[in-house]
Amino acid sequence: MAKKMSLRSKALIVFFLTVTLILGSLFASLGKLRNQVLRNEAEAVADQVVSFRSWVADSGMVWVNKLTPQFDEYLAVHDTGNNSRFYGKNPALATRELSTIANKTSTRASFTVTSDDVRQKANAPDGFEKASIAEFSANKNIQFVEKYEGGSYRYARPLIVKEGCLKCHGDPKDAPAAVITKYGDKKAFHYKVGDVRGIISVTLPSISLMEALPTLINPISLGGIFLAFLINFLFTTRFILNRLHKLTEDTKAIVSGKLDTPLLYTQPKESNDEVDHVYHSVDLLKRSMELVVRKIKRKG
């Protein structure tokens, strides 16, 4: 039968298990912190896109008097005379052009607005976006979908149809002539208020746990963790293990006949320390042995 492990060894095992659990909890916290940081950044981008689309929708259209080769699409045209024209861009078109510019100039975030019923093939969703749209359509309570994919963080938020959206996405009979002329009467119609029209999809470069580690692992936190472990180790060693070891040696000495061995402890009435209580019990045993020895000597 294997020899029973010493209390000191058990304490060391518990100590190292504690360290392991704390480090595991630390990395779990890092994972959550990373998710929250990336999510907050993606949500900020999505909020700006929603605000921009709302502004365009409330205004009806954005009108420009010049088309660039890169952005030569328009929904409607208004001739002001004197060979001057203004070109109207609806919310979807204006947002697509904004995303093209932003995605080329941004050092981090890129975004698209897409749907499972697009009017432009260039807006077609990828695999993550298709799955997100299906998830939002199946459960209207989901506020966002996120995923790590190929070194990137993907985030999607649903675009819910509102009353103002029905003008261009409700019954095609009610749609502006310019919409029918450009897109026809088949694509992206027959929506109702509350339906999922599409999503805002945001992509960010992912943050590895090692990159996030400096956020939590800094001189102050490391110093605090080290100090906590040091205090724990010193307390366990000095006030428990060392005292138990001394008590063991003193008890062995008493058993071997050295009844004059001093037992240094605080009386139980003045101490709640369990080791003091054990010392007191051994001291009582020692006194009993002294009485027995005295009686034997008297009889002798």
Across the range 138-159, mean pLDDT stands at: 93
Return the pLDDT at 213.
Answer: 67
Return the pLDDT at 2.
Answer: 66
Domain parsing of the chain, residue ranges: 8-209, 218-299
Return the pLDDT at 86.
Answer: 92
Return the pLDDT at 215.
Answer: 65
The yes-or-no verdict on residue 200 having pLDDT over 90 is yes
**Helix 7-59 / helix 219-235 crossing angle, nearest 10 deg:** 150
Across the range 269-296, mean pLDDT stands at: 87
Give tens-digit pLDDT for 78-135: 888 778 889 999 888 899 899 988 888 877 889 999 999 888 887 889 999 999 999 9
The yes-or-no verdict on residue 216 having pLDDT over 70 is no
Return the pLDDT at 300.
Answer: 64
Rounded CA separation 287/247 (Å): 16
Across the range 136-154, mean pLDDT stands at: 93
Give tens-digit pLDDT for 25-42: 877 887 888 889 899 999
Place of tokens 């005295």: 294
Rounded CA separation 16/165 (Å): 61
Cα–Cα distances (Å) from 151 to 136, 205, 235, in that order, read 24, 6, 46
Mean pLDDT of the chain: 86
According to DSSP H, which parts of the chain are helical?
Answer: 7-59, 91-105, 127-138, 166-169, 177-183, 209-216, 219-235, 242-255, 274-299
pTM of the model: 0.67
